[in-house]
């Protein structure tokens, strides 16, 4: 008995040492600074993109058609979030599972068939645990069956300009006609990150799914970077024999958010390390320079026949550009506005335009707007104003 117990303890200690060593090795790799060095990416394809501008800071065969495994589920996630935003579904909406959904193999949360799960639990299971069964349950709920939902996925991809993508299912399970690219995956993740609800689940490391029967399934986020890489707050993994190991991830430090995608890494450790390497390169070598600030007035405009004579004008949106650290040359902004407007004016009225150029080439035009309503003077107020001036 003592011999058996001792063996068990030794095995447990060995397992702990292995886990600790594995985490430490990765942590050191994640902390490595690759600034001013060539980036050696062994994965089949990769890209590093700045979130706001969409500028590509590094790429390797970024438009190559490749299987991307469970990163396909990112489109399932996006459509689900858009349905939520449109008010067509709520977090507490009950979704009845089918035998087809619950029988999905691969990564899963072991859904029971013919019972009700909340939309929130199903979405969380896809974002955190890459659950195939939850993905199909969502697809069937929104479009009746997976095939119809897949057609919708392809339509949405075209709308986003994802020209190197074709979906055959909503899970990423191997299919000969299914492919995407690192660039398209970055475009897709960029769109997902616009939804605040996504971050409610993407940053959770461990959780559990409580089934209607009371049974529990442990959920562990498949994206290890959210735990080990400073600033990482979202992403999606994928892994099959055909696709290799894949990862699309996002990290934010200061005012700059980056998106990295690696496709076809030889193993899981490589995909995380190479994603971290790309992030390190971006944060070490580039800055996000705010060229247009929507909170700062770009000028004033005279108001005729209004209850105030002058109104501040603002850019309709903030715009930041990615620049090499220490080099902010090449960018220029110019403002063209009306000299005056007549009341009444309304919040959001366009009164001009901000033009952003780089090396003489226009890269962005932003409307200049008024942020307040200005009422028209009444006949009595007009007469009184004229009399005062006289």
pLDDT tens track, the chain, 390 positions: 333 333 333 344 333 433 333 333 333 333 333 343 568 999 999 999 999 889 999 999 999 999 999 999 999 999 999 999 999 999 999 999 999 999 998 999 999 999 999 999 999 999 999 999 999 999 999 999 999 999 999 999 999 999 999 999 999 999 999 999 999 999 999 999 999 999 999 999 999 999 999 999 999 999 999 999 999 999 999 999 999 999 999 999 998 999 999 999 999 999 999 999 999 999 999 998 888 999 999 999 988 877 788 899 999 999 888 888 877 678 889 999 998 888 888 899 999 999 999 888 998 899 999 998 888 766 555 555 556 665
- At 278, give phi and psi (nearest 5°): -65, -45
User: Residue 36 and residue 286: Cα distance in Å, rounded?
Assistant: 11
Instruction: Write down the catalytic residue from 73, 124, 183, 190.
Output: 73
CB atoms < 10 A from the CB of 45, how many? Answer: 25
Instruction: Write down the catalytic residue from 43, 45, 70, 181.
Output: 70
- At 289, give phi and psi (nearest 5°): -100, 120
Given the DSSP bridges, would you call strands 286-292 and 297-304 parallel, antiparallel or unpaired? unpaired
Q: Tokens in use for 291?
A: 């060229």
User: Residue 71 and residue 236: Cα distance in Å, rounded?
Assistant: 6
Is 130 a known active-site residue?
yes
User: Residue 174 and residue 235: Cα distance in Å, rounded?
Assistant: 21
Enter the pTM of the model.
Answer: 0.81
| Residues 6 or more apart whose Cβ sits within 8 Å of residue 349 | 341, 369, 370
Amino acid 32: pLDDT:
36
Amino acid 376: pLDDT:
73
- At 328, give phi and psi (nearest 5°): -110, 20
Radius of gyration of the chain (CA): 26
| Residues 6 or more apart whose Cβ sits within 8 Å of residue 39 | 58, 277, 278, 281
Q: How far is CA 51 from CA 9, 191, 288, 363, in A?
A: 48, 10, 10, 16
pLDDT tens per residue across span 102-157: 999 899 999 999 999 999 999 999 999 999 999 999 999 999 999 999 999 999 99
User: Residue 181 and residue 165: Cα distance in Å, rounded?
Assistant: 7
pLDDT tens per residue across span 35-85: 435 689 999 999 999 998 899 999 999 999 999 999 999 999 999 999 999
Instruction: Write down the catalytic residue from 130, 180, 181, 239.
Output: 130
- At 79, give phi and psi (nearest 5°): -65, -40
Is 73 a known active-site residue?
yes
């Amino acid at each position: 008995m003592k011999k058996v117990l001792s063996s068990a303890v030794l095995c447990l200690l060995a397992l702990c040492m292995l886990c600790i060593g594995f985490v430490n090795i990765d942590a050191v790799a994640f902390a490595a600074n690759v600034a001013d060095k060539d980036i050696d990416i062994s994965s089949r394809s990769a890209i590093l993109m700045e979130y706001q501008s969409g500028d590509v800071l590094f790429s390797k065969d970024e438009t190559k058609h490749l299987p991307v495994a469970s990163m396909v589920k990112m489109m399932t996630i996006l459509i689900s979030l858009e349905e939520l935003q449109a008010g067509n579904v709520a977090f507490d909406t009950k979704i009845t599972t089918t035998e087809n959904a619950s029988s999905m193999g691969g990564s899963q949360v072991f859904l029971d068939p013919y019972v009700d799960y909340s939309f929130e639990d199903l979405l969380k299971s896809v974002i955190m645990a890459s659950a195939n069964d939850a993905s199909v349950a969502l697809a069937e709920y929104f479009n009746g069956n997976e095939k119809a939902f897949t057609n919708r996925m392809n339509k949405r991809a075209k709308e986003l300009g994802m020209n190197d993508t074709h979906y055959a299912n909503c899970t990423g399970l191997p299919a000969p006609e299914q492919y995407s690219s690192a660039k398209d995956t970055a475009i897709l993740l960029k769109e997902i990150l616009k939804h605040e609800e996504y971050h409610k689940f993407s940053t959770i490391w461990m959780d559990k799914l409580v089934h209607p029967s009371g049974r529990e399934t442990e959920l562990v986020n498949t994206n290890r970077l959210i735990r080990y890489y400073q600033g990482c707050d979202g992403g999606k993994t994928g892994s099959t024999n055909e696709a290799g190991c894949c990862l699309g991830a996002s990290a934010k430090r200061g005012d700059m958010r980056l998106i990295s995608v690696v496709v076809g890494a030889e193993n899981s450790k490589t995909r995380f390390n190479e994603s971290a390497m790309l992030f390190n390169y971006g944060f070490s070598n580039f800055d996000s320079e705010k060229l247009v600030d929507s909170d700062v007035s770009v000028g004033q405009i005279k108001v005729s026949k209004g209850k105030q004579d002058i109104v501040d004008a603002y850019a309709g949106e903030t715009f930041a550009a990615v620049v090499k650290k220490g080099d902010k040359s090449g960018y220029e902004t110019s403002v063209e506005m009306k000299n005056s407007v007549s009341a009444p004016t309304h919040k959001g009225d366009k009164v001009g335009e901000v033009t952003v150029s780089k090396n003489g080439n226009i890269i962005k035009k932003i409307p200049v707007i008024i942020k307040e309503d200005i009422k028209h003077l009444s006949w009595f107020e007009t007469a009184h104003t004229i009399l005062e001036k006289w």
